[in-house]
């Protein structure tokens, strides 16, 4: 059953992203190859342990986003979902700029684009879905 869109498409997007994240979780348990494509500047640092840790982090994010998709108007869940994108974006940007474990490639660009797009969309639509002002004056 699809989520109630509350008159927009954000809930559907979040459900779609979550489904992709679940597939990403599974692949992280099965193989290191796709994770090594994300961290392509330092693939030697991708181990079975880091891949499984990344899988659990991805699964947790997916679960939160699924809850947000089905409860898109609940302000607390909406805010927690925003944090999942902030954390993801910060992680991938810091791995590129600070830790140098990534380089500009399809493996790195995909999560950066999804987290940037999703975060921006959620912030721009905050008032619409939550019926609250994002910044209180």
Task: Look up the pTM and report it.
Answer: 0.92
Tell me how many degrees the CA angle 120-123-125 measures, rounded to the nearest 5: 105
Q: What is the 3-state secondary structure (H, E, C) of 47-112?
A: CHHHHHHHHHHHHHHHHHHHHHHHCCCCHHHHHHHHHHHHHHHHHHHHHHHCCCCCCCCHHHHHHH
The yes-or-no verdict on residue 7 having pLDDT over 90 is no
Number of separate domains in the chain: 1
CA 6 centroid distance within chain: 21
Residue 5 lies in a domain: no
Residue 70 lies in a domain: yes
Residue 89 lies in a domain: yes
Domain holding 83, by residue range, is 10-130
pLDDT digits (tens, 9 = 90+) for 44-72: 999 999 999 999 999 999 999 999 999 99
pLDDT digits (tens, 9 = 90+) for 108-134: 999 999 999 999 999 999 999 998 887
Residue 135 lies in a domain: no
Check: CB of residue 25 under 8 Å from CB of residue 57.
Answer: no
Residue 136 lies in a domain: no
pLDDT value at residue 137: 54
């Amino acid at each position: 059953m699809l989520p109630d869109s509350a008159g927009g498409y954000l809930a559907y997007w979040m459900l779609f992203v979550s489904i992709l994240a679940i597939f990403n979780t599974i692949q992280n348990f099965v193989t290191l190859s796709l994770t090594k494509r994300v961290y392509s500047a330092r693939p030697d640092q991708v181990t079975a342990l880091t891949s499984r840790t990344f899988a659990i982090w991805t699964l947790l994010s997916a679960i939160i986003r699924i809850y947000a998709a089905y409860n898109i108007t609940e302000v607390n869940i909406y805010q927690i979902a925003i944090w999942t994108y902030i954390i993801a974006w910060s992680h991938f940007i810091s791995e590129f700029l600070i830790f140098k474990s990534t380089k500009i490639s399809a493996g790195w660009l995909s999560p950066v684009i999804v987290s940037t797009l999703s975060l921006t969309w959620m912030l721009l639509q905050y008032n619409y879905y939550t019926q609250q002002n994002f910044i209180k004056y």
